Structure 1
Amino acid sequence: QVPPCESWGTMEKLAKEKEVVGIYISGHPLDDFKIEMNTFCNASIALFKDLESCVNKELNFGGVVTDVQHRITKQGKGWATFILEDYTDSSEFRIFGEEYLKFRHFLLKNSFVFVKAFVREGWINKETNKKSEPRLQFNNFQLLHDVMDSYAKKISIQLNIKDIKNEKIMALNDLLTMHPGSQILNFVVYDHEESIKLNMPSRKKKVKISQELLEELENQEVYFKLN
């Protein structure tokens, strides 16, 4: 008889699945942050295989830290390598100097992070006159858990005029009333056949944009957009 033991946490379970099978089976570590990843990221990890097209652009990307190594140079300065993984790929990054000192507390294995980085041209070797690979300037790290509060300022509810029925409006009103807050609520009523689109900002009602609210909207098959 197998002795009783504690159940694995979600991250441990998924890590074991990938270790044994090579892929995630029961889900993906980022599934709880799908909306943040789709809404606020303008780049995926797969993009880092070829950064030449991104020089002089700021990239917003997120993922789970699957490995991290904190190191010290001979001069006693700290730096780190870390592997970040999203739905598309995984990539190793290096961070040095002031950027490392500022953001090192985010570099923990299994932490979910949102990163803003500027892509700069590579250094030019004075002896060979050859340019190195583009380099990243890390401007900000943030926990993915905090991204919704930081960047979601307005939610626009999309309503097809043909689907507007009393029952649906009442259910939607009840749901929005359950999530009071300070973020702007806007309604977009549209009719594709007549090419009509009407923006209707709510004057009195504001909401708290949260994962729970967005999941309930999806359950009610209500389309929305975050700004």
Structure 2
Amino acid sequence: TMDIPVPKIAPCEPFTLTEQLNYEKEVTGMFMSGHPLDHFRFELKHYGIISLADFNEIKDDTTKVQAMVNRTLRVAGLVTDCSHRVTKNGKNFGILSVEDFSGKTEFAFFGDDYARFKNYFEKGYNLTVNGFFKPGWKEGTYEFKVTNITLLEMVKEKLTKQLDLHLDVAALTEDVVSFFVNNAKEHNNGATTLRFHLYAPDQQKLSLQTVGKGIKMNEELTNYLYNAPFIEVKVVTQENN
């Protein structure tokens, strides 16, 4: 008998997390190693982002849409599908499908909007989508007009003007102080002002803040804050002013 050697698999680079999750979803119909948006739970909570389930509920209810006409809404999600198409008249347009923890929705882009946003038509991109509902071309209908798209990973750095942290003085342990001091040193010269609001047992309040240029928002900081229930976080964005 002849021994047939086991074929050797050539060395290759491991999949990125996004690639791995996309393959998992394609093969099994679900994400096995987590959800691509897990890294952005802080952004989803603190930047005025509504869930796609809530967005669809508004979109599918004429009364709710009418109440939201011309009001800016922000959603976020993972691009799960996208297509570039051509109308019967030879004009280009595109359909972008996004998904979050609660559901999925589609956005259609025509004309100048398609030319402006088509670079975001990439599966695996995590995006925030800003826009508003407006009356459609057909009487009694409404459409969602997209005004801006941003990579979700850029939201905290681009939009955060000030970070207000509220906590009891008793919670300000040496470890907590050490974390914020080291993080501020490592991520200095940023555009975000960091303010601490400390509350004593007698209800007295002391406020402290960074001086100079402030800090640069970073994932280490947002992960820490998301997992620190003793700190109440308020994000002041550039758009609020």
TM bracket, shorter-chain basis: 0.7 to 0.9
Counterparts of residues 1-227 of structure 1 (less than 5 Å): 1=6, 3-4=8-9, 6=12, 7-50=14-57, 51=59, 52=62, 53-54=64-65, 55-56=68-69, 57-125=71-139, 131-132=140-141, 134-166=142-174, 168-182=176-190, 183-191=192-200, 194-203=202-211, 206-217=214-225, 223=231, 224-227=233-236
What is the distance in 2 between the residues matched to 1:198 and 1:141? 38
Which string of whole-angstrom CA distances, capped at 9 and with x for unpartnered residues, describes residues 97-148 of structure 1?
A: 22111111111222121111111134444xxxxx23x201111111112212
State the secondary structure of the residue aligned to 1:34: helix
Structure 1 residue identity aligned to 2:196? F
SS of 1:153's partner is strand
| Greater displacement, 96-105 / 158-167 | 158-167
Partner of 1:128: none
For 1:143-181, what per-residue CA distance to the aligned partner results, in whole angstroms no more than 9, with x for missing partners? Answer: 112212210111223331122345543443233222212
Percent identity for Structure 1 against Structure 2? 28
Comparing 5-14 with 96-105, greater Cα deviation is found at 5-14
Separation (CA, whole Å) in 1 of partners of 2:84 and 2:212: 50
Question: In the aligned structure 1, how far is the partner of 2:184 from the partner of 2:177?
Answer: 11
Distance 1:204 1:101 in 2: 40
Counterpart residue identity of residue 73, structure 2: L
Amino acid at match of 1:22: G
User: In 1, distance between residues paired with 2:99 and 2:162?
Assistant: 29
* TM-score of the two chains, using structure 2 as the length reference: 0.79
User: For each residue in 1:61-120, what CA deviation from the matched residue of structure 2 results, as whole angstroms up to 9, or x when unmatched?
Assistant: 111111111011232221111211111111122111221111111112221211111111
Cα drift, residue 196 of structure 1: 4.5
Distance, in Å, in 1 between the alignment partners of 2:144 and 2:178 is 49
Please report the RMSD computed on the Cα atoms of aligned residues, expressed in angstroms. Answer: 2.6
Query: CA separation in 2, counterparts of 1:111 and 1:89?
Result: 16
TM-score, structure 1 length as denominator?
Answer: 0.83
Which ranges of structure 2 fall in alignment gaps of 5 or more residues?
A: 1-5, 237-241
User: Which secondary structure does the structure 2 equivalent of 1:82 belong to?
Assistant: strand
Bigger mean CA deviation after superposition, 172-181 or 58-67 = 172-181
Distance 1:168-1:15 versus aligned 2 partners, 3 A rule: closer
Q: Which amino acid aligns with 1:8?
A: F
Inter-CA distance 177–13: structure 2 relative to 1 (3 Å threshold): same
Q: How far apart in 2 are the matches of 1:75 and 1:101? A: 17
The CA distance in 1 between the partners of 2:187 and 2:224, in whole Å, is 11
